[in-house]
Structure 1
């Protein structure tokens, strides 16, 4: 039986265990990674002993875990749910296959494939022999603020684009390796960017294809309109009519394009303005700015309407959200 604790060149805590899932050495190893990630039971995967290394680092509110070895399974059991944690975890297979089990589903992940799980449900993640996978723990509330339908994507493979998933994996490695050497403010910026990428993947990586996928020209036009809208969120005079003129379309044609996505132009505009204001209220660099200034810069000319919309979308007022943030 062997238990070691060492650090990578970036001083990432690393814990290795080889032996049966019992005894003082096993309990010491389990306690170390549980304290840094979450309460889990560790078991064997395919053999009668665990052969596994776990690396854990943190960036602000996020925990970055990597598991690799020939045998290891991490289980969130019913008794452990009493700790009240409800964070979401992004699992990514890096080398070999990984297995995720939750909500009655078994998701086999091949290299680069991802899925989301939740800590408030019984679940398991398992190594294949010689495999490696990562686990990114994120606050549920913060992810739900960025993607309203994030819970619909739990315990399902995330489709998304291969390029975006690759970028998320690379950014995971960067954050996990460098965050321990950075101050708290930079860590929170990294965490925010990581959660925005995961939310984007969840929004674009659903099970059903886009309803505009059969019309390439219409999809391209819609993406152009959305891009132009995002570039002009600060413009309080931005309307469907002004957007239509810029695209050489009628307002009704623009509306039809948005209807194909199950939304409207007004809903898209409001959502993006709220997300912009939300990001700025979460940023350490704008904490001295007045809320009214942030609202106006995001395109809201009516502060009362902004406050009502923000509270409806995020469950708290702009001032409550800002006061709840942690800055260095």
Structure 2
């Protein structure tokens, strides 16, 4: 398995089985996940090739492990636990395929878009299935980092935290945001967003968690979810604050309050990011064959005169001059 250490992020590593002989691919995969997840015992469903990729990105004292693989079984045995010098929780965001987590006689099924958590200090089985290529973003959470957010007497059980009616959608949005941003964001920002995610998970696991963390975590996670909802629909000409509010299950009034808290307005935020999108594409050599108006329409502008005025206000020149520049 080829291992690549990235010079610009000391805590980022990647493994890929594509350059390894098929008969040896699973053994190299096993070695990789034992390095990033601690001691585990994976078992293949057959003896054929095993195309897989494992990427680890540091998140402060934790990490995110982004893994793509065929269906197989992963066990955490008593000998695996005994051989590990530290403990953690695994917080899994399922991206493709299905998985069943079995721990303490309890089964937790994950489908794409769902998030589950389980404990490395107890026996478990992960049954990855459904589809030739499965993907998961697995957050490696140092045990004490989560327990510090929970009541001292809290008894942990494996759970699907994305089902929580209060913060489940915020957990999913924050996990997606961190998975997408982690490779390109500073260590400090990654660690901060990871802390927000853990605050939300602790709230889901126990309503009696650390109260001081609750208000800020909910506000920050809602803000993250709202911005993601806006960016997903940024190219829609009729995007409104009401539509964005509905996407994250909050009121339109709260949408305006969150943008005000960030020092802007919904309309200004949408306008700025649409203009930045057009500006990027005007400088993109691959877009040189497209008309400026066509690009503007694609970014949600319905009035080209209004677009041209706002573009010049934002960048100090006309769209045509910007493209030439």
Contact in 2 for aligned 1:81/1:121 (Cα 8 Å): yes
Change beyond 3 A, Cα 1:20–1:170? farther
Give the Cα separation in 2 of the matches to 1:100 and 1:197: 21
Give the Cα separation in 2 of the matches to 1:151 and 1:84: 23
Instruction: Give the structure 1 partner of residue 16 of structure 2.
Output: 16
**Greater shift in the superposed pair: 84-93 or 117-126:** 84-93
Match of 2:172 among 165, 169, 174: 169
Structure 1: which 5+ residue stretches go unaligned?
205-262, 280-328
Instruction: Give the structure 2 partner of residue 76 of structure 1.
Output: 76
Deviation at 1:53, TM superposition (A): 2.5
Match of 1:137 among 119, 135, 140: 140
- Could you give the per-residue CA deviations for residues 230-270 of structure 1, whole angstroms, max 9, x where no partner exists? xxxxxxxxxxxxxxxxxxxxxxxxxxxxxxxxx8xxxx9xx
Q: Classify the secondary structure of the residue corresponding to 1:42.
A: strand
Contact in 2 for aligned 1:51/1:71 (Cα 8 Å): no
Change beyond 3 A, Cα 1:93–1:177? closer
Give the Cα separation in 2 of the matches to 1:20 and 1:103: 37
Change beyond 3 A, Cα 1:185–1:66? closer
Give the Cα separation in 1 of the matches to 2:153 and 2:58: 22
Instruction: Give the structure 1 partner of residue 211 of structure 2.
Output: 272
- Could you give the per-residue CA deviations for residues 27-72 of structure 1, whole angstroms, max 9, x where no partner exists? 444333322332222221x333434322221210112123323223
Give the Cα separation in 2 of the matches to 1:40 and 1:126: 13
Higher RCO structure, 1 or 2 (CA under 8 Å, sep 6+): 1
Contact in 1 for aligned 2:137/2:179 (Cα 8 Å): no
Change beyond 3 A, Cα 1:119–1:21? farther
Instruction: Give the structure 2 partner of residue 48 of structure 1.
Output: 47
- Whether 2:31 is the aligned partner of 1:31: answer yes
Contact in 2 for aligned 1:116/1:157 (Cα 8 Å): yes
Q: Classify the secondary structure of the residue corresponding to 1:121.
A: coil
Q: Classify the secondary structure of the residue corresponding to 1:146.
A: coil
Instruction: Give the structure 2 partner of residue 126 of structure 1.
Output: 127
What TM-score results when the alignment is normalised by the length of structure 2?
A: 0.52
What TM-score results when the alignment is normalised by the length of structure 1?
A: 0.52
Contact in 1 for aligned 2:162/2:171 (Cα 8 Å): no
Contact in 2 for aligned 1:115/1:154 (Cα 8 Å): no
Contact in 1 for aligned 2:161/2:201 (Cα 8 Å): no
Q: Classify the secondary structure of the residue corresponding to 2:138.
A: strand
Q: Superposed, which structure 2 residues align to 1:1-328 within 5 Å?
A: 3-5=1-3, 13-17=13-17, 26-44=26-44, 46-49=45-48, 50-82=50-82, 83-128=84-129, 129=131, 130-148=133-151, 152-158=155-161, 160-161=163-164, 164-179=167-182, 182-203=185-206, 272-273=211-212, 275=213
Deviation at 1:17, TM superposition (A): 3.1
- Could you give the per-residue CA deviations for residues 66-104 of structure 1, whole angstroms, max 9, x where no partner exists? 332322333222211121432111123222211112112
Deviation at 1:111, TM superposition (A): 2.5
Contact in 1 for aligned 2:146/2:202 (Cα 8 Å): yes
Contact in 1 for aligned 2:150/2:206 (Cα 8 Å): yes
